[in-house]
Amino acid sequence: MLLEKEDVLKSKLKEVFGYAQFRGNQEKIIRNVLAGNNTFVIMPTGAGKSMCYQLPALISEGVAIVISPLIALMKNQVDQMNAVGVNAKFLNSTLTKTEMNRVKQETLDGKVKLLYVAPESLTKEDNVTFLKDATISFVAIDEAHCISEWGHDFRPEYRRIRSIINQLGELPIIALTATATPKVQQDIQKNLQMEAADLYKSSFNRENLYYEVRPKQNSKKQLIKFIKEHKGESGIIYCLSRKKVEEIAEFLQVNDVKAAPYHAGLDSNIREKNQDDFLNEEVDVIVATIAFGMGIDKPDVRYVIHYNVPKSVEGYYQETGRSGRDGLDGKCIMFYSPGDISKLEKFNKDKSVQERENALILLQEMTSYAESAVCRRKQLLHYFGESFDDNCGNCDNCVRPKESFEGEDHILTALMAVKQTDERFAISHLGDVIRGADTQYVKSYKHHELEVYGKGNTETAEFWKSVLRQALLHEFLIKDIDNIGVLKLTGKGDEFILNPANIRLTKDHDYNDLGEEEEPEKQAAPSKAYDENLFEQLKSLRRQVAKDKGFPPYVIFQDPSLQEMATTYPTTREELERVSGVGKGKVEKFGDAFINTIKEYVEENEIMTATDVLIKTSVNKSKLKIYIINQVDQLTDLEEIAENQDISMESLLNEIENIIYSGTKLNLDYYIDQVLDDEKQDDLYEYFMNAESDDIGDALSDEYNQDYSEEEIRLMRIKFMSEYAN
Ligand code: ADP
Ligand code: ZN
């Protein structure tokens, strides 16, 4: 009987999917599902999770419900299933009412084997009613880590899945994820009430991937150098913001790299084209926010670069995992600066206290990963609850080891601190106790009376944190799963306290003091006398366009830009974009009319256009400007920027205005929102919308603006110009 079943499985695998063998745990998992047991699968990306529910769905009576968070992925899977002759359908918000009804009918008729459902559709009342009538074989929950706020893409709707399933009757569940720390794993099992489920966990180790963390210094130069060394190979560069994606993609293009941007803010046609170009190798490098890569499966991505620090180690591992799927080498490089971490912290400012704390802990894990000099692979696997004893030899810390030191006494001190504080505290407090910090918190627990207090007062807090983290990696300590952050002793730790032994530790990398980021610069445009006739024509065109669009003329183009046009006669979009003060956005919005006027003018007057008069690049910016742009990106308050650069607020605003007027978007909302309430902002907005010019003197003398300081008016002018003119 058993043998028979085995044969059925194997022959279905071959017949339907064309594979001769099961991979890893697949067969065991499939049998477990078919036996009607709850099953929990943790398997790295690409290992073949889908098969674990697809095959049992075919064999079982009724329809298998597959809950999956990504509509794009859903469609992909349904297409793939249909292509091998399996009737699979999906229910999600992209369907019309008629299509939805057809899917439901077909399901009730027993024709559908797999029904993919988005979590938000699952929770809809009429869908629940429909599912109650269907004959369901089992429920598969894909990307199950979405249930946990300790993972990297928490979906609140996922938390309701269990209660819905309960309404449908007693159904076996298979939950699957490619990423789960012990904490996340516990969350999933608790939330789905499947603590007793059979767990199948594969190793997360990706032997063919090389991990490296580099200080974020001259990072653009490093980027170009790396990419040129890997010419013709496919790579992904992850950035944090859409803006950064655009900037880096443009920077690479200017430097003759076949690169394209990808982020959620792009028009979907462009996004799809860029993705296809990458898949078809028209483009070598895709520069993306993490929105990219979820649904694609390009086997030969040779490198993944994190230009910005990711928000969690889970996210990082997932993203690096997109390289080397074919089993050949993949390089995973991350640029790290402590500044990036503070920036991420600021992003969380508006979240609830709980969410903020969670996010902070995830970030701290990221920091310690980056700063540690311990084998990267050991750290990563440990993070996901796997031990890895050796050094891997395939990461920066293994290839270029930092000097190590004898750490027996240090580890002992660290463990004693944990023990004497009754295993109830987190890393930073433990560090404080060891260092003998004189804080209220320490005193409130009377920890200054402990024997271990102040024992390590010759070392820094950072040093002790690093020792404690290494004690974790050596499994002398373990993270308490119910009290996030709290460290407890393991049996091995207790043993060490009784019988201390030699142990080598490493000092962390020091990424402070990186200095300022330099950018490769190119020549600025020379200024020239201009063609006054054309200039006048362009001005009148500007008036007309402004009127049509309902903006003041200065929003369209500033005079210096028109003068430059009247000097270089740009007759294509590319040429127009080279004009100072003209960004891509402006070319898109207003460019064609100007190009046409110039073309006509050039033809009429038989002018030779000098397209090579000037070359403006995307990196035509001075150091101070770059500093300001970076700082604003990091949401640094303007007072602080001014102070750091030792310039007055006024000079800072001057610089910012220059940046805006030369076509770079700067978002100062974080700062403006602090100094001006909504009403005042609206007021000043209104003024600039209707003003004849953007002159500050005019604005100040306007009766309407009596209540505002020059600084406030200038800030709002910057916001206004940045939003409308660029
Ligand atoms: P995951 O969801 O774990 O990231 P997928 O389910 O997308 O992985 O599977 C990854 C690839 O492995 C797919 O192309 C799939 O067809 C293939 N695959 C799955 N099972 C097998 C098998 N037993 N033999 C060969 N290839 C397999
Ligand atoms: Zn290593």
Say which CATH number the domain at 626 has: 1.10.10.1390
Looking at the 3D structure of the chain, how many domains does it have?
5
CATH number of the domain encompassing residue 491: 1.10.10.10
Between 136-140, 295-299, 647-651, the lowest mean confidence (pLDDT) is in 295-299
pLDDT bracket for residue 49 (50, 70, 90): very high
Q: Cα of 294 to ligand 1 centre, how many Å?
A: 15
Same domain, 169 and 34: yes
Looking at ligand 1, which residue's alpha carbon is closest to its atom 27? 48
Give the number of the ligand closest to the Cα of residue 318.
Answer: 1
For residues 638, 640, 644, 647, the Cα torsion angle rounded to the nearest 10 degrees is 50
pLDDT digits 0-9 by tens, 306-328: 999 999 999 999 899 999 888 88
Q: Is residue 398 part of a domain?
A: no
Same domain, 637 and 608: no
- Domain boundary, last residue among 153, 175, 201: 201
pLDDT digits 0-9 by tens, 147-160: 998 877 788 889 99
Q: Is residue 106 part of a domain?
A: yes
CA pair distance 322, 307, nearest whole angstrom = 16
Residue 477 has pLDDT above 90, yes or no: yes
Residue 1 has pLDDT above 60, yes or no: no
The mean pLDDT of 182-189, rounded to a whole number, is: 92
Give the number of the ligand closest to the Cα of residue 27.
Answer: 1
Looking at ligand 1, which residue's alpha carbon is closest to its atom 23? 22
Same domain, 536 and 580: yes
Residue 603 has pLDDT above 50, yes or no: yes
Which range has highest mean pLDDT (381-395, 624-638, 684-698)? 381-395
Same domain, 234 and 364: yes
Measured from CB, residues less than 6 Å from any atom of ligand 1 are 19, 21-23, 26, 43, 45-51, 178
pTM of the model: 0.65
Same domain, 645 and 580: no
For the chain, the average pLDDT equals 87
The mean pLDDT of 509-523, rounded to a whole number, is: 55
The DSSP secondary structure of 324-337, one letter per residue, reads -TTSS-EEEEEEE-
CA angle 623, 627, 633 (to 5 degrees): 145
pLDDT bracket for residue 588 (50, 70, 90): confident
Same domain, 601 and 651: no
Residue 514 has pLDDT above 60, yes or no: no
Q: pLDDT at position 476, please?
A: 95
- Domain boundary, last residue among 555, 590, 613: 613
Q: Cα of 210 to ligand 2 centre, how many Å?
A: 8
Structural domain including 556 reads: 532-613
Q: How far is CA 45 from CA 41, 202, 297, 395, in A?
A: 12, 11, 10, 20
Same domain, 553 and 596: yes
Q: Is residue 518 part of a domain?
A: no
Residue 31 has pLDDT above 70, yes or no: yes
Q: Select the more confidently predicted residue: 234 or 546.
A: 234
Give the number of the ligand closest to the Cα of residue 24.
Answer: 1
Q: pLDDT at position 616, please?
A: 33
Give the number of the ligand closest to the Cα of residue 390.
Answer: 2
Helix or strand or coil: residue 681? helix
Q: Is residue 545 part of a domain?
A: yes
The mean pLDDT of 210-235, rounded to a whole number, is: 91
CATH number of the domain encompassing residue 546: 1.10.150.80
Same domain, 450 and 571: no
CATH number of the domain encompassing residue 315: 3.40.50.300
Q: Select the more confidently predicted residue: 66 or 45.
A: 66
Would you state the structure tokens that stand for residue 507, as one six-digit string?
A: 């000092």
Q: Is residue 389 part of a domain?
A: no
Same domain, 219 and 361: yes
Same domain, 582 and 559: yes
Q: Is residue 527 part of a domain?
A: no
CB 377 within 8 A of CB 211: yes
Same domain, 419 and 475: yes
Looking at ligand 1, which residue's alpha carbon is closest to its atom 24? 19
Q: Is residue 519 part of a domain?
A: no
- Domain boundary, last residue among 201, 222, 241: 201
Angle between helices 427-435 and 461-473 in degrees, nearest 10? 130
Percent of the chain exceeding pLDDT 70 equals 93
Would you state the structure tokens that stand for residue 586, as one six-digit string?
A: 């402006």
Residue 613 has pLDDT above 60, yes or no: no
Q: Cα of 50 to ligand 1 centre, how many Å?
A: 7
Looking at ligand 1, which residue's alpha carbon is closest to its atom 5? 48
Residue 518 has pLDDT above 90, yes or no: no
Percent of the chain exceeding pLDDT 90 equals 46
Between 346-355, 375-384, 605-614, 625-634, the lowest mean confidence (pLDDT) is in 605-614
The DSSP secondary structure of 122-168, one letter per residue, reads HTSHHHHHHHHHS-EEEEEESSGGGG-TTSSS--GGGGGHHHHHHHH
The mean pLDDT of 465-478, rounded to a whole number, is: 92
Q: Is residue 390 part of a domain?
A: no
Q: Cα of 23 to ligand 1 centre, how many Å?
A: 8
Residue 516 has pLDDT above 80, yes or no: no
CA pair distance 582, 293, nearest whole angstrom = 32
* Bridge pairing between strands 88-91 and 114-117: parallel
Q: pLDDT at position 577, please?
A: 84
Same domain, 318 and 458: no
Q: Cα of 67 to ligand 1 centre, how many Å?
A: 18
Q: Cα of 398 to ligand 2 centre, how many Å?
A: 4
| Ligand 1 pocket: which of 51, 73, 200, 326 to mutate (most atoms within 8 A of CB) | 51
Residue 665 has pLDDT above 80, yes or no: no
Residue 704 has pLDDT above 80, yes or no: no
pLDDT digits 0-9 by tens, 286-298: 999 876 765 567 8
